[in-house]
Structure 1
Amino acid sequence: MKERLAGTILLCALVPLAILGYLLIVIIGTFGSVKRVRQGVRALDHFVNATIFNGYACESISSHAWRNRHKKWAKFVIKLTDFFQKDHCKRANRREQPIVDLYLSKKLDKQTVGKQI
């Protein structure tokens, strides 16, 4: 129960900031420095992977797609990204898999709020 309450309170604060962040990504990405936007886009990629695709928060959609390349949604993502950059998902997974392995070995995917240590 503590975890749900903490999550709800946190979301009430984060969602307006996330919307503002998204708008800044669009505006600055269109008219300003792409370098500034890159980290925001990466964070958004990880957020979408964790929420929409039920992946790990430390992993991009591309890396997740490569790990699940036999699934229909992953095949679509791989085909789409290959259009822009050959073997993008494979290279993303090669770069991110050690991070995912560390994330899992340290049990960072487990509940933390309200859990007894």
Structure 2
Amino acid sequence: MTTPTPITRVVLFKITSPADQEKLFDYYRPLSATATKDGKPYILSARAGPTFEDQRRQGFTVVAVTEFESEEDMKYYDEGCETHAELKKFAKSVHEGAMMVYFRDVLAR
């Protein structure tokens, strides 16, 4: 029996202030180690960085990618994780637009 590939979540932010971008990265840096579910880390990986200057970025200046073992873990991240709640509170106070998508990689099978 094969195990399903992880859920990958991609969030794009429009944050114009470099200082606010860096502050957001400070929330993401320890995320996979400090966010816990049932007392254990549950985020497989978390990455974030500024986008490159390019007309196709449509004003999005920051990208964040997190991976979860299951949709249930991602739902917990959205609805029950205190660490993510703090990150979201800050992000909502500084972004001028955001977009989130998630998927399971069909090419990794």
Sort the TM-score into its range (normalised by shorter chain): under 0.3
Larger Rg: 1
Which structure has greater helix proportion?
A: 1
Which structure has greater strand proportion?
A: 2
